[in-house]
């Protein structure tokens, strides 16, 4: 038997979480079984833990957890053998396939990435999907020509998971980081991650009629979307890129095309879920080399399976700081 957080639907159709012992035989089909050591909490997990499954969960009973790291216990794949350390993010695991909120997970070998040298399973999940996506965003900005000499890079939703990791990576790579936050009382935390400038959310959230403002930012990792993204497009330097990662502030984009046409601004879409395996491997190696592990430790908030329903509701309200690390070991 293994311990798991299981979402079950009540007669009213709403799902609720229970911590249960389940049989290993009830795990879904897959060619690799992993002993999960750590999982985490991402914004999407908050949705999957909510009573309606955030429109992501298709059937119940369901084990959420969109990412995990652990050790291969058994494998029918030539790619993995028992004892290998692996990490999984994306592929709709934790949404349509059972995920990481259990002591074991059975998945397709194609979804697994071997842990790079120098990264523990604990560190991999302190990074998690949010941090993995932050690194994808930084890589996309670099691939579009960003370098530290071009000026400050804006990070929105900076105290969240994506924002915290993006801030620490960019600062480590020598960038000047301007962190946008609705929690100015957390300025000390953001500065400790390497932010050099704190931009209060209200300053950049306010809608302006002008499509262009002064050219302020050499690049941007945006976890917020909505009106904030629309506004900051008009503040980008000539030819600069914005990596659009999230929608914590809304999915609508009430913008004009003027920044694209007159300033050659680029809007780069970042998707972590269906990311091809070769780029996943590249990304995890970059995380192992370019994310300072002592900064990662500052972001970690430890949690147990039992804490997740409450934390899941909090992350949907923007109330979680940094990265929640769930220990299943």
Residue ranges in 147-176 that form contacts with ligand NDP under rule CB under 6 A: 157-163
Q: Least Å distance between CB 6 and ligand NDP?
A: 23
C-alpha closest to that of 232 among 187, 278, 201? 201
Among 108, 183, 191, 285, binds ligand NDP (CB under 6 A): 183
Calculate the CA 151 to chain-centre distance.
25
Residue ranges in 9-28 that form contacts with ligand NDP under rule CB under 6 A: none
Q: Least Å distance between CB 64 and ligand NDP?
A: 14
Among 35, 44, 97, 106, binds ligand NDP (CB under 6 A): 44
39 in contact with ligand NDP (CB under 6 A)? no
Q: Is 51 exposed, middle or buried (0-12, 13-18, 19+ CB in 10 A)?
A: middle
Q: How many residues of this chain bind ligand NDP (CB under 6 A)?
A: 32
320 in contact with ligand NDP (CB under 6 A)? yes
CA within 13 Å, CB half, 116:
13
Q: Is the CB of 75 or the CB of 159 nearer to ligand NDP?
A: 159
Q: Which residues contact 317 (CB under 8 A, 6 or more apart)?
A: none
326 in contact with ligand NDP (CB under 6 A)? no
State which H helix or E strand residue 179 sits in.
strand 177-181
Q: Is the CB of 46 or the CB of 259 nearer to ligand NDP?
A: 46
CA distance 131 to 109: 22
Q: Which residues contact 97 (CB under 8 A, 6 or more apart)?
A: 28, 91, 107
**Phi, psi (5° rounding) for residue 52?**
-105, 10
Residue bearing tokens 């959420």: 64
325 in contact with ligand NDP (CB under 6 A)? no
CB atoms closer than 10 angstroms to residue 71: 16
Q: Least Å distance between CB 97 and ligand NDP?
A: 17
Q: Least Å distance between CB 152 and ligand NDP?
A: 17
Using the contact rule CB under 6 A, the part of the chain among 106-114, 115-123, 271-279, 282-290 near ligand NDP is 271-279
Among 104, 106, 201, 263, binds ligand NDP (CB under 6 A): 201
How are the residues of the chain apportioned to helix, strand and coil, as percentages rounded to the nearest 5? 35, 30, 35
The contact set with ligand NDP (CB under 6 A) reads 42-44, 129-130, 133, 157-163, 181-183, 201, 223-224, 228, 245-249, 270-273, 315, 318, 320
């Amino acid at each position: 038997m293994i311990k798991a957080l299981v979402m079950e639907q009540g007669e009213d159709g709403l799902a609720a979480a229970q911590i249960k012992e389940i049989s290993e035989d009830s795990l879904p089909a897959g060619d690799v079984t992993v002993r999960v050591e750590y999982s985490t909490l991402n914004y999407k997990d908050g949705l999957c833990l909510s009573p309606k499954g955030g429109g992501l969960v298709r059937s119940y009973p369901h084990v959420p957890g969109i990412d995990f790291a652990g050790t291969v216990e058994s494998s029918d794949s030539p790619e993995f053998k028992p004892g290998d350390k692996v990490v999984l993010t994306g592929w709709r695991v934790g949404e349509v396939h059972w995920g990481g909120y259990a002591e074991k997970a059975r998945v397709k070998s194609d979804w697994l990435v071997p842990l790079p040298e120098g990264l523990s399973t604990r560190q991999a999940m302190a990074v998690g999907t949010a941090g993995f996506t932050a690194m994808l965003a930084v890589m996309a900005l670099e691939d579009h020509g960003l370098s530290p000499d071009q000026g400050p890079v804006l990070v929105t939703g900076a105290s969240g998971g994506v924002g915290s990791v993006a801030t620490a990576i960019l600062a480590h790579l020598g960038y000047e980081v301007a962190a946008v936050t609705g929690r100015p009382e957390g300025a000390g935390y953001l500065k400790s991650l390497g932010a050099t400038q704190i931009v209060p959310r209200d300053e950049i959230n306010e809608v302006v009629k002008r499509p262009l403002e002064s050219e302020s930012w050499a690049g941007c990792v945006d976890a917020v979307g909505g009106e904030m993204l629309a506004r900051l497009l008009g503040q980008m330097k000539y030819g600069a890129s914005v990596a659009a990662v999230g929608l914590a502030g809304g999915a609508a984009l009430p913008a004009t095309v003027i920044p694209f046409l007159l300033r050659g601004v680029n809007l780069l879409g970042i998707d972590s879920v269906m990311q091809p395996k070769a780029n996943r491997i590249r990304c995890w190696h970059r995380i192992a080399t370019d994310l300072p592990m002592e900064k990662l430790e500052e972001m970690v908030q430890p949690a147990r399976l039992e804490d997740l329903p409450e934390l899941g509701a909090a992350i949907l309200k923007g109330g979680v700081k940094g990265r929640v690390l769930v220990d299943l070991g």
